[in-house]
Amino acid sequence: MSFVQYNGSALVAMTGKNCFAVASNRHLGVQHQTVATDFQRVFKIHEKLYIGLAGSASDVQTLHELLDNRHKFYQLQQERDMKPEAFANIVSQILYKKKSAPYVCQPVIAGLGDDDKPFICTMDSFGAKKLAKDFVVAGTASKSLYGACEAMYKSDMEPDELLETVSQALQASVGRDCLSGWSGLVFLVTPTEVRETILNFGAGGGPAAPVALAASGGAAAKKKKEEA
């Protein structure tokens, strides 16, 4: 099995009306064996910018720390948050710099840019950016995710509808992938709030027990508890 499939992951980011949603599975595996069901792959960079990382778990954690560090440095220097387009460029440069010994990691970047216009993009392990207006996917379940998102996506969705769509797309595609599964984590970000939801679905995304629990204290943005 190649190193890209070593840990297994499913990531999707979708845009709505002045909002976006990033969803990932929380499964961590070593080839076919499940090791954990609460592994975090989507990280906050600042209030309106989230990055999800698919691929090797060690590279996920390394890249997250690296990028977090980089953004904090930027905040100290510029006294403001980085724009999503600029951040995507930084990630692309960092990945390409290591082309001879690459990070085995495909990032999915999602943020709210100027005028709260949602911005999403994904990259391969070398940093080739793929911009999209509707949705981007990454991970071992990416082929199934493309199909599910293509079928379920509608433009200009309201936040509630977007959350529902992303959850359904993730659940459907994870049900066709041996290497990912076992509960999902969704961040829904609007200009005024961030909603964090945990989806409980069985291995293979079966007829789920859709009990979502979300909590989290937080910084400036209002966070809501959600029962889906």
Partner 1 sequence: SLERNHSFQLLLRFNSIRFYKYEYRFQWNWITIFFSFIYWNTDFDGFQKKAIQMVKPAKGTTTLAFIFKEGVMVAADSRASMGGYISSQSVKKIIEINPYMLGTMAGGAADCQFWHRNLGIKCRLHELANKRRISVTGASKLLANILYSYRGMGLSVGTMIAGWDETGPGLYYVDSEGGRLKGTRFSVGSGSPYAYGVLDNGYRYDMSIEEAAELARRSIYHATFRDGASGGVASVYYVGPNGWKKLSGDDVGELHYMYYPVVPSTVEQEMAEVPGA
Footprint on this chain of partner 1 (rule: CB under 8 A): 5, 8, 29, 31-34, 40, 43-44, 61, 64-65, 140, 175-179, 181, 196, 200-209, 211, 213, 215-218
Contacts of 93 (CB under 8 A, 6+ apart): 127
The distance of closest approach from Cβ of residue 146 to partner 1 in the complex, given in angstroms and rounded to an integer, is 14
Between 29 and 84, CB nearer to partner 1: 29
Residue type, 21: A
The distance of closest approach from Cβ of residue 115 to partner 1 in the complex, given in angstroms and rounded to an integer, is 25
The distance of closest approach from Cβ of residue 200 to partner 1 in the complex, given in angstroms and rounded to an integer, is 6
CA distance 8 to 27: 8
Contacts of 2 (CB under 8 A, 6+ apart): none
Residue 136 structure tokens: 């981007």
Between 17 and 61, CB nearer to partner 1: 61
The distance of closest approach from Cβ of residue 75 to partner 1 in the complex, given in angstroms and rounded to an integer, is 16
194-223 as b/e, with b when 16 or more CB fall inside 10 Å? bbbbbbbbeeebeeeeeebebeeeeeeeee
Between 100 and 217, CB nearer to partner 1: 217
